[in-house]
Structure 1
Amino acid sequence: MNSKLDTKRLERMCKALGDPYRIKMLEYIRQNADWTQCTAITESFNLAQSTVSHHLKQLVDVDLLQSEKEGRCTKYRINDEAFADYVEYLKCFQKA
């Protein structure tokens, strides 16, 4: 197994990616510049702000997203390193 991606971390990432809204949020953030404000994400989905915050927290907790406070707002961006670890792990299943 990829030394950067232990079994517990992999399990948590897979669980976080198992929700379709989280995948859509990741796609939205990826398409929008470097940092994306929480308010922009909330406005783009037909979900309560608390639900969006919950999904974003799950993604931050498993390092798929990075967050940064800016006043009372929080902004998010994709954690390229964590995704690279995940992709590297998945590559081990490819046949040569």
Structure 2
Amino acid sequence: MNLKQIEKISKALGDVNRLKILQYMQQHEGKVECTQACNLLTLAQPSISHHIKKLVEADLILQHKVGRNYNYTINQKVWDRYQKTLAKL
């Protein structure tokens, strides 16, 4: 993992709302549905979409379309590589 990727992930993790989404996902088998994310945070739907987009762009979570809705899963491979890389710094 290069330093640019580490920076992008670190920036994505630099917001408490994104951390809450990831924490929820860790507690629920690494998954969250769009509606669950909306219920989890006391934010407007566009704000939640923005936070999820940042996590997707950082490759921390993967997006899956199911009908008209989206489901999200933790990208465990990237998460593990990120933690291992940080441990070596």
Q: Percent identity?
A: 37
Pair 1:81-2:77 in alignment: yes
* Aligned length in residues: 89
Superposed CA offset, 1:3-27 (max 9, x none): xx11111110010000111001100
Q: How big is the alpha-carbon RMSD for the aligned residues of Structure 1 and Structure 2?
A: 1.1
Pair 1:55 & 2:54 matched:
no
The aligned counterpart of 2:38 is 42
Query: Structure 2: 5+ residue runs without aligned partners?
Result: none
Q: Confirm or deny that 1:18 pairs with 2:4.
A: no
Q: Deviating runs (4+, > 4 A) in structure 1?
A: none
- Please say which structure displays the higher CA radius of gyration: 1
Shift of 1:33: 3.1
Higher helix proportion, which one? 2
* 8 Å contact from structure 1 (residues 22, 55) kept in 2: yes
TM-score by length of 1: 0.87
